């Protein structure tokens, strides 16, 4: 009886030790720093013929970053790019000069940030100005995006690719 009881105590103690080890491992694992590629806030309604100006931004609050690339899609039936600017961009050197196509509805870019890199929110990559061509809801979204850490290894950071809905409305005249 005593032998069986001591085996149960040892078995129970072993389970507790394993549970404690598992908890220590779970809480000591560092979650991956994350980044986000998105757009500045441009809420409101936009009538046909009006202009919408917005920034393409990056957010990286915990990890210094030094390289960004991305591709943005928009509906060329609904929006037309009339200008875009690299002024005030956090990118210091363009690996791929930003280009856009009003035919295919795309914006592509790739660049680097010199040391010490960028940490923060609303890191402006490009400013884009659209002309509204229709009165529908239109969507801007990233078809791909890549953000690399300023860690000397070019480590890819998990990146959220945001979308933006634009409310394009018909103006009613009386």
pLDDT at 19: 42
Cβ(110)–Cβ(95) under 8 Å?
A: yes
User: Is residue 67 domain-resident?
Assistant: yes
Burial class for 49, CB neighbours closer than 10 Å (0-12, 13-18, 19+): exposed
Q: What is the CATH number of the domain that holds 147?
A: 2.60.40.680
pLDDT at 43: 78
Do 23 and 107 reside in the same domain of the chain? no
Do 140 and 158 reside in the same domain of the chain? yes
- Residue 149 — pLDDT band, cuts 50, 70, 90? very high
Give exposure, 5-30, as e/b (b: 16+ Cβ within 10 Å): eeeeeeeeeeeeeeeeeeeeeeeeee
**Dihedral pair phi/psi, residue 115, rounded to 5°:** -55, 140
Q: Strand pairing partners for 107?
A: 72, 100
pLDDT > 80? residue 71: yes
pTM for the full predicted model:
0.78
Do 68 and 119 reside in the same domain of the chain? yes
């Amino acid at each position: 009886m005593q032998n069986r009881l001591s085996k149960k105590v040892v078995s129970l103690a072993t389970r507790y030790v394993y549970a404690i080890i598992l908890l220590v491992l779970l809480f000591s694992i560092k979650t991956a720093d994350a980044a986000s590629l998105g757009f500045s806030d441009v809420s409101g309604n936009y009538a046909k013929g009006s202009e919408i100006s917005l920034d393409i931004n990056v957010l990286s609050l915990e990890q210094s970053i030094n390289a960004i690339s991305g591709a943005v899609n928009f509906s060329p039936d609904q929006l037309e790019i009339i200008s875009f600017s690299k002024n005030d961009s956090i990118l210091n050197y363009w690996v791929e000069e930003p280009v856009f196509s009003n035919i295919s509805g795309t914006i592509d870019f790739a660049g680097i940030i010199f040391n010490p890199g960028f940490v923060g929110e609303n890191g402006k990559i490009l400013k884009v100005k659209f002309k509204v061509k229709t009165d529908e809801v239109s969507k801007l979204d990233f078809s791909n995006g890549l953000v690399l850490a300023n860690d000397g290894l070019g480590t890819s950071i998990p990146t959220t690719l945001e979308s933006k809905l634009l409310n394009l409305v018909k103006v009613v005249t009386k």
